[in-house]
């Protein structure tokens, strides 16, 4: 029997909190049962490193697994995001698909409007540098935003 103090169980709890998902949503996204998620949360069962890596990839978490020094490499996502950009993508990933699609549509409209008005993003403290470029590039390349 493992315990809640097990580093892999603690990592799962951290990832769940960072994802913003409920336990049932995490089960759905990870293709696990709700009972399995409950066992991870209670420390009755230790999640495998593969499960943790899958969870990290789903939510864009790049921190290394407990006991490792190398960070997780996300192969199909945007690389080297600044903190504000990562925050934007994390928020999008937490949304249900219809809401995410609407948010992306509105964001794209906002960026087009700002381009037409020739507003400098660098002068606005509310929009992180590179956020507009990263989202536009991702959308233009047809990459999927979210799980």
> What separation, in Å, do the N-terminal and C-terminal C-alpha atoms of the chain show?
32
Q: What pTM does this model have? A: 0.49
95-134 pLDDT, tens digit per residue, is 888 888 888 888 888 888 777 765 454 455 455 556 666 6
Architecture of domain 7-59: Orthogonal Bundle (1.10)
Rounded-to-integer distance, Cα 46 and Cα 39, Å: 8
70-102 pLDDT, tens digit per residue, is 655 555 555 566 777 777 877 888 888 888 888
DSSP conformational letter for 125: T
Q: How many C-beta atoms surround the C-beta of residue 124 within 10 A? A: 12
- In 3D, which of 28, 30, 82, 34 has the Cα closest to residue 52? 30
- Say which residues have a Cβ less than 8 Å from residue 112's Cβ, sequence separation at least 6: none
Question: Which residue ranges make up each domain of the chain?
Answer: 7-59, 83-140
CA 90 to chain centre: 4
Q: Residue 115 half-sphere exposure, CB side, CA atoms within 13 Å?
A: 9
């Amino acid at each position: 029997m493992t315990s809640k103090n097990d580093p892999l169980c603690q990592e799962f709890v951290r990832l769940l909190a960072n994802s913003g998902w409920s336990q049932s949503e995490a089960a759905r996204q990870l293709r696990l049962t709700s009972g399995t998620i409950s066992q991870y949360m209670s420390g009755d069962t230790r999640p495998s490193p593969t499960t943790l890596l899958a969870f990290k990839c789903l939510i864009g978490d790049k921190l290394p697994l407990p006991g490792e020094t190398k960070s997780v490499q996300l192969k199909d996502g945007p690389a080297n995001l600044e903190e504000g950009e990562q925050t934007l993508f994390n928020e999008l990933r937490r949304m249900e698909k219809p809401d995410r699609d609407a948010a992306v549509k509105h964001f794209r409209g906002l960026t087009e409007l700002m381009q037409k008005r020739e507003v400098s993003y660098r002068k606005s403290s509310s929009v992180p540098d590179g956020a507009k470029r990263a989202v536009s590039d991702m959308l233009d390349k047809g990459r999927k935003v979210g799980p």
